[in-house]
Structure 1
Amino acid sequence: MAIGAFVEGPAGGGGYNGRVTSFVVLSCIVAGSGGILFGYDLGISGGVTSMESFLKKFFPDVYHQMNGDKAAVSNYCRFDSELLTVFTSSLYVAGLVATLFASTVTTRYGRRASILIGGSVFIAGSAFGGAAVNVYMLLVNRILLGIGLGFTNQSIPLYLSEMAPPQYRGAINNGFELCISIGILIANLINYGVQKIEGGWGWRISLSMAAVPAAFLTIGAIFLPETPSFLIQRDGNVDEAKIMLQKLRGTTGVQKELDDLVTASNISRAIKNPYRNILKKKYRPQLVIALLIPFFNQVTGINVINFYAPVMFRTIGLGESAALMSAVVTRLCATVANIVAMIVVDKFGRRKLLLVGGVQMILSQFTVGAILAVKFKDQGVMGKEYGYLVLIIMCVFVAGFAWSWGPLTYLVPTEICPLEIRSAGQSVVIAVIFLMTFVIGQTFLNMLCHLKFGTFFLFGGWVCVMTLFVFFFLPETKQLPMEQMEQVWRRHWFWKRIVGEEEEEVDQAQTGAGTISMSTTSHSS
């Protein structure tokens, strides 16, 4: 049958005028650099936890397991430690809580305010990391970084989507994922370089250097303009929003887009509690996608690569330097794939990238699982040629993720949510990401210890499920203005049943109210 998921919006940005101006580019570069913060942290945590000097100082039990000082430890269990996983995953609990507060700040005080708060707290967290003398200081470092990321990850994708012209929204929003990838790459390169420092204090440089991108973002955010959507939503200043919109689009012919923004703002002003409102039946498609897209993003197993890549490569027999360099190689592949995604996302659309990337990741996870099942046992060392084969397949995996589920996890939920629930919807997305990142970070090393190679088959199975979800339930949204997105659900083979029922209920309620009013009038006369 013809699947109604293949619904596409009108080309050309829904009839809006304008182009990508230098003003838009500069604003989005500054805001998008917040992705470097998230990426840097993902890359740094995995790198330092594979450094012998860092493990020896803070996690001596893991250090002895890794070096085989403890007898009869399975190869799959050498890094299994509750304390180590708490260090890695504590950030995401803090981020989960922070992003829920960030929604209120973003809605009331603007996207820029949340970016400023996030960058400032991140700088403070970096100081604790570089000066750490015990595990407690490391945990304070992780918690502060988590709070900072909770604010920046909630507000930046929102900011980028609202600033971008509809026909280029995919490419501009994907810049956030590109910055995440660049951040991970920078972290991997720094880890590789400082690991060679004599005296074993190189990890301090890795942890404290997080302050550099945070300072750039914080200072830059002071000069960022607010989005036209927020200017109208804040105090109804249509004139100020029109001037900003003309500056962003490079043309005076912005009335159609402005009218849509005003309409969306009027609806948004009537909403007192966006979290309660997003639970309404008419927003069911947005809520389901805001929950499942980030959930599926995490169960691909990508963060196994992001913050455990050096640990995993050490587990399969590569040395300290080789493991850190392997993480650099995989990230280079991801960065190239991010650039490809920026070029093609607005041409081929979101669905095609998600489906192709899904198939690519399925094959990669199953292949890695098969190699480990045959060649990597509890004891002994896997041949280096197979270790490098796993590295190549992991490069294919991260490339598949980086041009599909990586950037589109942030793009799709922000563009499908109308203004009245947009901030709440983005908070749901980031909260799910942080929650699932915490769960994966907290359980992966233990899961690897018990499921062994089966861990990769488990991730591959989840990728199968999410690819089917995209095929059947995710409509195409490329180049469709966010203020006109409701038409997508009315044409979708599945969602139109739910949205249509809601509209019928509203019509019936209005008809009933009219009948009551008329009968009352008649009675009184």
Structure 2
Amino acid sequence: MPAAGFVAPGGVEFEARITPYVIITCIMAASGGLMFGYDIGISGGVTSMNDFLEKFFPVVYRKKNEIQDNNTYCKYDNQGLQLFTSSLYLAGLIATFFASYTTRVWGRKPTMLIAGILFLIGVVLNAVAQDLAMLIIGRIMLGCGVGFANQAVPLFLSEIAPTRIRGGLNILFQLNITIGILFANLVNYGTEKITPWGWRLSLGLAAIPALLLTVGSIFIVETPNSLIERGLLEEGRVVLRKIRGTDNVDPEFNELVEASRIAASVKHPFRNLLKRRNRPQLIITMCLQFFQQFTGINAIMFYAPVLFQTLGFKNDASLYSSVITGAVNVVSTLVSIYSVDKVGRRVLLLEAGVQIFVSQVIIGILLATGLKEDEDISKGMAIVIVLMVCTFVSAFAWSWGPLAWLIPSETFPLETRSAGQSVTVCVNLFFTFVIAQAFLSMLCHFKYGIFLFFAGLVLIMSTFVLFLLPETKNVPIEEMTEKVWRQHWLWKKYVTDSDLIDDEDGDAYANQETGKDNVKAYHNSQL
């Protein structure tokens, strides 16, 4: 493939080929998303299986079978059952702080290896669980694996990819999440009739994506950014040549060295995140994670079979419907990979906001006017609901799903990148935990209004995107401050030159412009 590049400040072009090696490496690393996705998809199916409920949640099992009408919204309302799903995300939230340390000090590659091993331990405990305590401990280990993977994989993908296809390659992580969800839905559909151990097979097959990440992390290279950040300059140069497919890497290498020098001068990256100059990235990151979860997507993905059963679908129909939505999720994520670096992040988010809002309002109105407490759902209404859920899922899959991970991973400067990714994962998993723990209770109390509740939040998040989220497509990671934040009508107030030297870490920033001038001078001397 012919060489190409992006233009850095001063007119210097960073040459980069799209090599098969980079594509294969990114695919292997992105398998961490399979773990996350499989768990999201598997929990809903397992928690609707009678054998699983009878063994671990007999109260829910009795309630489910004593209530004859399928439309009762409260049949699955049980805090213990919700804890089975949500405990993983609470564990992941805590684990991400440790993952930040390993990502920064040991590198992205070892952190992914740790993630795979922790997830495998959790899989074994879940598959052979004899009581609720063992089941929850297994879920906690799974959560630790998810926390480490979600910390390292997006960073790895953003740093290894050439700038012009960074968005598409980063979304491989989200694509694998959707494939994991679909795989889990298919597994649940097949194991639901295997009595009494079908649920064990569903939980045990999570070992497949965990093994892919574990083995893959052994063979992939470390990112040049991480090697240079840890002082391994020559190794970083060698890897940069390998992944860019060219020997002409000096301009990009020198920029990475300068960014690393600045990062090394920052003694407290987490505290540094709170400084005025880093406020735009921090606010946007936290809002994106909150909004992603409160689109209502995980209410669908965690509990798709449970939700469809609650709405009146029979067992087979509910699992079949969740398989359909999982397939739509995968195909729609491919749309994002193709379009994100062409039309940009903002366009995808704004279009999806309209689509999600309309689909949720329609679902809410249908359930409010057409669902009777003493009747099964009609076939026509069931088809419309599934279509609207698919419309919702498709919009999420090419917008809020991948972009809430992509945008934070490409906007933080190197000196706060690991800490910033920790905040991203932490906030995301916190609100994932909130939704997982609360959704069945919200469904019980809000009934059809749950969809109208999420629709209202979609209006708020679309307004946020319209006014406060800048476009980041085709902008080199190390140039975000100059090309994005200093050009935005609001955020430019926080990254003025005077704000770059306001604390004990400020000496690094005071020399930042001088350092960039030195790099540019070196570049010019090579022309």
In the superposition, the TM-score normalised over structure 2's length comes to 0.91
Secondary structure, aligned partner of 2:16: coil
Pairs aligned (count) = 497
Q: Which stretch shifts more, 383-392 or 372-381?
A: 372-381
1:194 equivalent among 191, 195, 200:
191
What residue in structure 2 maps to residue 93 of structure 1? 90
What residue in structure 2 maps to residue 337 of structure 1? 332
Secondary structure, aligned partner of 1:78: coil
Cα shift at 1:345? 0.5
| Residues 405-444 of structure 1 mapped to structure 2, 5 A cutoff | 405-444=400-439
Cα shift at 1:125? 0.5
Cα shift at 1:500? 2.4
What residue in structure 1 maps to residue 64 of structure 2? 66
* Residue 55 of structure 1 pairs with residue 50 of structure 2: no
Letter in 2 for 1:203: W
Contact conserved, 2:72 with 2:373, CA < 8 A, in 1?
A: yes
Cα shift at 1:222? 1.2
TM-superposition CA deviations, 1:60-84 (whole Å, max 9, x none):
22222222x1589971111111110
What residue in structure 2 maps to residue 140 of structure 1? 137
* Residue 207 of structure 1 pairs with residue 203 of structure 2: yes
What residue in structure 2 maps to residue 265 of structure 1? 260
Contact conserved, 2:71 with 2:376, CA < 8 A, in 1?
A: no
2:100 equivalent among 103, 114, 137:
103
Show structure 1 runs of 5+ residues with no match. 1-10, 514-525
Contact conserved, 2:71 with 2:375, CA < 8 A, in 1?
A: no
TM-superposition CA deviations, 1:147-204 (whole Å, max 9, x none):
110000110000000000010000000000000000000000011011122x221111
Contact conserved, 1:51 with 1:320, CA < 8 A, in 2?
A: no
Letter in 1 for 2:492: K
What residue in structure 1 maps to residue 17 of structure 2? 19
What residue in structure 2 maps to residue 39 of structure 1? 37
Letter in 1 for 2:211: A
| Residues 230-379 of structure 1 mapped to structure 2, 5 A cutoff | 230-235=226-231, 237-379=232-374
TM-superposition CA deviations, 1:256-306 (whole Å, max 9, x none):
211211111011001111110111000000110111111110000100111
Letter in 2 for 1:119: G
Secondary structure, aligned partner of 2:496: helix
What residue in structure 2 maps to residue 153 of structure 1? 150
1:441/1:31 Cα in 2 relative to 1: closer, same or farther (>3 Å)? same
| Aligned-partner Cα distance in 1 for 2:127–2:500 | 59
Secondary structure, aligned partner of 1:16: strand
| Aligned-partner Cα distance in 2 for 1:100–1:363 | 38
1:264/1:191 Cα in 2 relative to 1: closer, same or farther (>3 Å)? same
Cα shift at 1:503? 3.5
Contact conserved, 2:112 with 2:153, CA < 8 A, in 1?
A: yes
Letter in 2 for 1:268: A
Show structure 2 runs of 5+ residues with no match. 511-527
What residue in structure 2 maps to residue 391 of structure 1? 386
Contact conserved, 1:13 with 1:167, CA < 8 A, in 2?
A: no
1:46/1:396 Cα in 2 relative to 1: closer, same or farther (>3 Å)? same
In the superposition, the TM-score normalised over structure 1's length comes to 0.92
| Aligned-partner Cα distance in 2 for 1:279–1:174 | 28
Letter in 1 for 2:349: L
Cα shift at 1:504? 8.0
Contact conserved, 2:41 with 2:301, CA < 8 A, in 1?
A: yes
Q: Which stretch shifts more, 127-136 or 143-152?
A: 127-136
Secondary structure, aligned partner of 2:15: coil
| Aligned-partner Cα distance in 2 for 1:380–1:134 | 37
1:221 equivalent among 217, 221, 235:
217
Secondary structure, aligned partner of 1:336: helix
Greater relative contact order (Cα < 8 A, sep 6+): 1
1:485 equivalent among 477, 480, 488:
480
| Aligned-partner Cα distance in 2 for 1:101–1:195 | 37
1:162 equivalent among 152, 159, 171:
159
Cα shift at 1:241? 1.3
| Aligned-partner Cα distance in 2 for 1:398–1:411 | 18
Letter in 2 for 1:230: S
Letter in 2 for 1:194: T
Among all aligned residue pairs of Structure 1 and Structure 2, give the percentage whose two residues are the same amino acid.
Answer: 49
* Residue 75 of structure 1 pairs with residue 72 of structure 2: yes
| Aligned-partner Cα distance in 2 for 1:19–1:298 | 36
TM-superposition CA deviations, 1:221-264 (whole Å, max 9, x none):
112211000111001x3322111111101111112211211111
Contact conserved, 2:229 with 2:264, CA < 8 A, in 1?
A: yes
* Residue 455 of structure 1 pairs with residue 450 of structure 2: yes
| Aligned-partner Cα distance in 1 for 2:334–2:318 | 25
| Aligned-partner Cα distance in 1 for 2:180–2:70 | 34
Q: Which runs of 4+ in 1 moved over 4 A?
A: 70-74, 504-507
Contact conserved, 1:116 with 1:221, CA < 8 A, in 2?
A: yes
What residue in structure 2 maps to residue 469 of structure 1? 464
Cα shift at 1:499? 1.8
Cα shift at 1:385? 2.0
1:362/1:223 Cα in 2 relative to 1: closer, same or farther (>3 Å)? same
Q: State the Cα RMSD in Å.
A: 1.8
What residue in structure 2 maps to residue 520 of structure 1? none
Secondary structure, aligned partner of 2:230: helix
| Aligned-partner Cα distance in 2 for 1:309–1:391 | 11
Contact conserved, 2:70 with 2:376, CA < 8 A, in 1?
A: no
* Residue 500 of structure 1 pairs with residue 496 of structure 2: yes
Secondary structure, aligned partner of 1:17: strand
| Aligned-partner Cα distance in 2 for 1:460–1:209 | 35
Contact conserved, 2:47 with 2:306, CA < 8 A, in 1?
A: yes
